[in-house]
Amino acid sequence: MVTLQGEKVILATMEREDCKKVWEDIEYDLGQRMELFIVGRSSSNADGCFDDIQRQQGHTQIRLGIFLPNRMVIGDIALQDIDWRNRSCSLGYGLTKLEYRRKGYATDAAKTILQYGFCHLGLERISSSTQETNIGSQRVLEKCGFTLEGRERKAQYFAGKRYDRLMYGLLVEEYMERRT
């Protein structure tokens, strides 16, 4: 079982009930127009999600729950699409309820898993992408030292409109330089 201690959150392996809680607690900020809204998500699908996580864990992803110190799960974070040969992957994360957003939890979780990826797994490049309207995610990535590397124009269709996808990257040497 993996447990990583951040300043505000703890990252830990999710059990089936944690995965179900994340699945059931997702709240959408319909006013922000930045998230995929999935209508009719059945809680029984959480079992399939947990099984997928277990199949991929350690092979093509490291997915952990984001927990508050009281052990309440508030989201998840992953180093995903891991390419062990090229020592690269992408970073994905999400918080469940609107009340947990804009409190520094995602930034702390990202910083914590980046340290794990670069310092313990030997990764040399981590990328991430976000929709142009997702200012919160852009701030998380920038606070963690990511560089905006490009823009895929009109790459995402959401709520009847097309949006650009912003591509970010962080190299191990940049990460290490920021740590010192």
Region 9-32: mean pLDDT is: 85
Residue 58 pLDDT class (50, 70, 90 cuts): confident
Q: Which pLDDT score is estimated for 5?
A: 97
Domain ranges of the chain: 3-179
Q: Is 118 helix (H, G, I), strand (E, B) or coil?
A: helix
Taking 50 as the threshold, does the pLDDT of residue 140 lie above it?
yes
DSSP 8-state symbol, 52: H
The CATH number assigned to the domain with range 3-179 reads 3.40.630.30
Question: Three-state DSSP class for 41?
Answer: coil
Please say if the pLDDT value at position 37 is more than 60. Answer: no
pTM of the shown model: 0.90
Partners of residue 89 on adjacent β-strands = 126
**Please, are residues 92 and 71 in contact by the beta-carbon 8 Å criterion?**
no
